[in-house]
Amino acid sequence: MRCVIRTAGLGVSDMRRRLLKHKWVLLFAAIGPGLIAANADNDAGGITTYSLAGARFGYGLLWVLTIITLSLAVTQEMGARMGAVTGKGFGGLIREKFGARWTAFAVCVMLIANLGTTNAEFAGIATSLQIFGVSKYISLPIAAVAIYLLLANFDYRRVQRVFLISSSLYIAYVVSGFLAHPDWTFALKSLVRPTISLKTDYLLMFVATVGTTITPWGQFFIQSFIVDKRLGKEDLKYARADVYAGAFFTDFISFFIIVSCAATIFATGGHINDAADAAKALHPLAGRFASTLFAFGLLNASLLGAAVLPLTSAYATCEAFGWEAGIDKRPSEAPMFFGLFTFFIIASTLIVLIPGIPLLPIMVLSQVLNGALLPIILIFVLLVTNDKAVMGTYTNSRAFNIIATLTTVGLIVMTILLLASPLIEKLG
């Protein structure tokens, strides 16, 4: 009754203002999983891959970003929808629908890809700080301890706040892109002008570019994050807005990374081996400020990925096998959860600390592995999101099925071509 009396004297415009304000509150409450999951794809391996793409092929791979943005938006929305509708993680849904053996298979695929990518994150931390004269034997132990303390001692909201702040710092690459003075007209045309090559290096970069943006771990992460944030069906439209914004923003940043290197390193016939070389090369070509921002962006991306990947691995594994999980819990309440992400942090740190270990293969080949394994995870995603017994009226639309299926089949074909490319080149 009090509510009726309170609203009875409001004009239509006042009521609309309050309703609009309420919607904005709900939107901001739902923001986080989509933006963080998408931006974490621009990790150390991703930045290295995009840097090499721009330095070696100029603007030639920009068209891939157009396709990837659409595919990323669709696949991440499917993960968010599964989490909001069922209230369960992806691993748990696979176990319910396909049984323990297929669950173990899917989780093993994810863990193999995740361990390689986590190694790439710590390699990125070491590489970025070496630019500023800090030895990896100092930077990596400090980073490992800091990441562990963040995940083990902060509650959910604080961890999300740190992740969101880290995501906003990717703007450094936009500034670097403008300072590089690229050919904007040609770059924009390249977004819709496909260029195809069957050469091994091109196919390797193609699969790596897709694999670093649409990742196996990303499908587990987005769903776990939605569940941990307790978003339900009524929040789905806000979660979708978050996912779509994240998909656009992550490839918006990728665009500027590629054009930065295309306009400077590729245009001058230069050569780089990784993102650190790209940062150094930008110094004489685009100025010290652009170089410093590029290196800072690599450090920020590596730290974000180094926190998100172990967290995703722990969430997905625990959900799949019914173990307690959650960063709001204590280690004694969820020992497997805390043990798993601790293992990933320590193992990756020790691997990258091995004297003389080559960091470039770790950062790039981990993304190729992501691309090769991704179709397996996407097949599970398609099967679950089309199951009315699980999703009810929230199953996929025809358009979503077409886009996700084409993404899956396209990656399988490109991976096969990559494996066959040495023979193709020999045969001319």
Most trustworthy range by pLDDT among 15-19, 247-251, 351-355? 351-355
Query: What DSSP line would sit under 216-260, residue for residue?
Result: HHHHHHHHHHHHHTT--GGGHHHHHHHHHHHHHHHHHHHHHHHHH
What are the structure tokens assigned to 183, written together? 């050919």
Question: From CA 419, how far away is CA 118, in angstroms rounded?
Answer: 24
Q: What is the pLDDT of residue 349?
A: 93
Q: What is the pLDDT of residue 405?
A: 94
The b/e string for 366-379 (b: 16+ C-beta within 10 A; e otherwise) is bbbbbbbbbbbbbe
Question: From CA 404, how far away is CA 410, in angstroms rounded?
Answer: 10
Helix (H) or strand (E) holding 3: helix 2-8
Residue-wise pLDDT tens digits, 313-364: 888 888 888 888 777 778 888 899 899 989 999 999 999 999 888 776 776 7
Q: What is the DSSP letter of 262?
A: I
CA 334 to chain centre: 26
What's the mean pLDDT in 257-279? 76
SS3 breakdown of the chain: % helix, strand, coil, rounded to 5? 80, 0, 20
Question: 310 pLDDT band (50/70/90 cuts)?
Answer: confident
Of residues 327 and 16, more confidence is placed in 327
Q: What is the pLDDT of residue 70?
A: 92
* Domains present along the chain, CATH in parentheses: 31-426 (1.20.1740.10)
Long-range contact set of residues 291-297: C-beta below 8 Å, sequence gap at least 24:
293/172, 293/173, 293/175, 293/176, 293/179, 294/172, 294/173, 294/176, 294/260, 295/128, 295/131, 295/132, 296/128, 296/169, 296/172, 297/47, 297/169, 297/170, 297/172, 297/173, 297/176
Q: Where are the beta strands (DSSP E) in 128-287?
A: none
What's the mean pLDDT in 57-68? 92
Question: From CA 406, how far away is CA 71, in angstroms rounded?
Answer: 9
Q: What is the pLDDT of residue 123?
A: 86
| Number of alpha carbons in the 13 Å side-chain half-sphere of residue 186 | 12
pLDDT score of 402 more than 90: yes
Of residues 208 and 189, more confidence is placed in 189
> Among 164-173, 323-332, 387-396, which stretch is predicted with the lowest mean pLDDT?
164-173
Helix (H) or strand (E) holding 316: helix 288-321
| Number of alpha carbons in the 13 Å side-chain half-sphere of residue 371 | 30
What's the mean pLDDT in 201-221? 82
Q: What is the pLDDT of residue 226?
A: 82
pLDDT score of 275 more than 70: no
Residue-wise pLDDT tens digits, 63-88: 999 999 999 899 999 999 999 999 88
pLDDT score of 15 more than 50: no
Helix (H) or strand (E) holding 393: none
pTM reported for the whole predicted model: 0.76
Closest by CA position to 294, among listed 267, 257, 269: 257
From the number of C-beta atoms within 10 Å of its C-beta (0-12, 13-18, 19+), residue 355 rates as: exposed
Q: What is the pLDDT of residue 242?
A: 83
Q: Count CB-CB contacts under 10 A for residue 263.
A: 25
Q: What is the pLDDT of residue 251?
A: 86
Question: From CA 304, how far away is CA 301, in angstroms rounded?
Answer: 5
Q: What is the pLDDT of residue 8?
A: 38
> Mean of the per-residue pLDDT values for the chain?
79
Of residues 369 and 424, more confidence is placed in 369
pLDDT score of 31 more than 80: no
Amino acid, res. 331? P
Q: What is the pLDDT of residue 276?
A: 61
> Among 63-72, 174-183, 399-408, which stretch is predicted with the lowest mean pLDDT?
174-183
Q: What is the DSSP letter of 169?
A: T
